[in-house]
Structure 1
Amino acid sequence: MDDKNQVIRGKAPLRISFGGGGTDVAPFCDDRGGAIIGSTINKYAYCSIIPKNTDEITVHSLDFDMTVKYNAKDTHQYDGNLDLVKAALNAFSINKGCDVYLQCDAPAGSGLGTSSTVMVALLSAMAKWKGVSLDFYELADLAYQVEREELGISGGYQDQYAATFGGFNFIEFHGRNNVVVNPLRIKKDVINELQYNLLLCYTGKIHVSANVIKDQVSNYTNNNVDAITAMSEVKALAYGMKDELLKGNLHSFGKLLDYGWQSKKRMSNKISNPQIDELYDEALKAGALGGKLLGAGGGGYLLMYCPYNVKHKVAERMEQVGGQLSDWNFELRGVQTWSHNNDRWPYNQIQVDIPDGNYKFNF
């Protein structure tokens, strides 16, 4: 597709994890198997590609107000500037010019899987441009390979698979090429009630997941018994959350969120901090049953489960102690791609003919 009037777009949803976080990180998942339960939400990463008849590749990061140019014939070196894009270009051996636009509804370090979701949106758009057919497992695995192995970015498997498949999933991990995504068939009434009872609160602090994951992996490889026991508990709780959610036992589900959070904090002392602990404790005092920090830990978004009759009190208290509440909903679709003809802009005039007469609108 070389028509400069064509734009190819990829759109992938960000995710929230309910339980099992950290058990998808090697070597724990390689040795013992990991399990994650979570869902995607209506916040997205977007990629737009506009082919050009030149050798110039221009990448526009709309979130960071950054523009970087490359020559399509050159080897792209990783230097910390939009390396996700360069790795995706290398993955598809892109040797034609294009404009690439990237945008995400949440900041990096928010705990919603932003970098992996951007990668999924980027690779899906490039695959459509190149005419490469990838099923969801192949796309998620490619995103993992490019981000974790090619670029060496620390993290687990869940983000790439969540963004690709979308919806509520229970995902089991036994290392590379042995990931099984189990879509959960949850009644609409249960989804609506769960949404009504959840609060998503931004802590105002960006986390550096690599530091947390490095410490977690170190605890495992150094045979830290308490940390390893905590990882096994977090994995078991993911199975328990799945059962309670499928049964529609949402208050039990909310309490399990608390058990999971208490266990996860024992996996690494970098997962929480006094500010987050205060925010969480105040939410419990106001009536929340449980919750957890999303992502690896250290900052980002805090998810809290609150019975509907105290949700407003929890929300008020969290804002009083510095939390920023977010408007959101569940998204049941995964990655989407499409192409579109760019408008032939600027127009000089549009003429509209209707039975009452002819109308002209000048620009």
Structure 2
Amino acid sequence: MLSRHFLVNCLTVFLLLLSGIMPPAYAQTNINFQEAQGTGINADTLQIKNMRVDLTIPDPANPAISKNVSSYYNITFRFDPVTLHFVPILESMSANCASFLVRVLNSQTATPLLTAHVLINGEDKIVDTNGFVQFDNVTSGQQIVTVSAEGFENSYQEITVQCGTNPQVDASLHPITASTPTTGGEEPVIDTPEPSVPTEEPTPPIIEPPPIVVDVPQLIRIQLDWGETPRDLDAHLTGPEPGLAASYGNDQDRFHLYFANKETSIAKLDTGEFSNTKPEVITIFPAVGAHQLRAGSYRFVVHHFAGAGSITTADAQVRLWIGNQAEQLFTPTIEGANILANASTDVWIVFELLVKEDGTVTVIPIQHYDTGFNPSSVRSAGG
């Protein structure tokens, strides 16, 4: 059983390590669990979210005066069968601590591709004159690196970054070339018969319509951001995962991506380990070995996890990018204010994405609101 005394001791040690302040500097430390919620991640791992830590510390401007501050934390614990305690996983306290370097080259000339854009976790940068770009303060773990340049094929790489390391990622982009049919050898000799005198009007030539260019995106990004009240909204995505067994967090054959399950075979949630981390970014990408997005329906939902107010008072914004198409922006409607309660159970079903077998994507706005959901049950919101 997870004891309150054990959590208080662990969290106090964590806060001291994070702040760099020695224990005598604190006159009082209180841990508040009123808004905390535990979610099982797997058989022996638990995440407790929204633990409030109230500290009394000296005012930096006037050390003679004490100052009260509050912070919210998410802590991941591993169950120790020997001591029967939940042991905090220190790595879960490290957010946005990794760095790495990306170099982009032209695959044909092996020279720096100066027009290239590199995108990771919603941050877009252009390479320097040597083809390099540096990313800092990246969340440790797996990341999707997207590299693009006009006139070149996009590149997608999945990498693993860790705190304290600075690896280099090399990306070579291939130029897009239009294949033109050619003939070799001598011109063939064609026996042309003598022209005959037409007896009727000639048939006009048939003009073929131009080919239809279908946009088949290789990447979809969804970004959730919000204001100060409520303090904690969460992004949720459900989608097709054939063969997936039903469990506490997901339905059969459908994954449920959220803070307790941040990665699937075709999608990834990027967010810090602490509450209030903004924005939350979801990336949908092809499965390993596939050349386009997995066909099926995807549903994006926003959950009001904690804090006063409702989703309609949160100044919430959802941005959607499908391939190279223009950004689509979604905000709560006025009708939602008449439906949502002032409680941390609200959901905003924003839209559905229908990916067809040919890889094309259709956006179906929903803009529906409901109440009475916990993080796991959000997967059933909207039907």
Q: Normalized per residue, which structure has more strand?
A: 2
Instruction: Specify the TM-score bucket, using the shorter chain as the normaliser.
Output: under 0.3
Provide the TM-score with structure 1 as the length reference: 0.23
Q: Normalized per residue, which structure has more helix?
A: 1
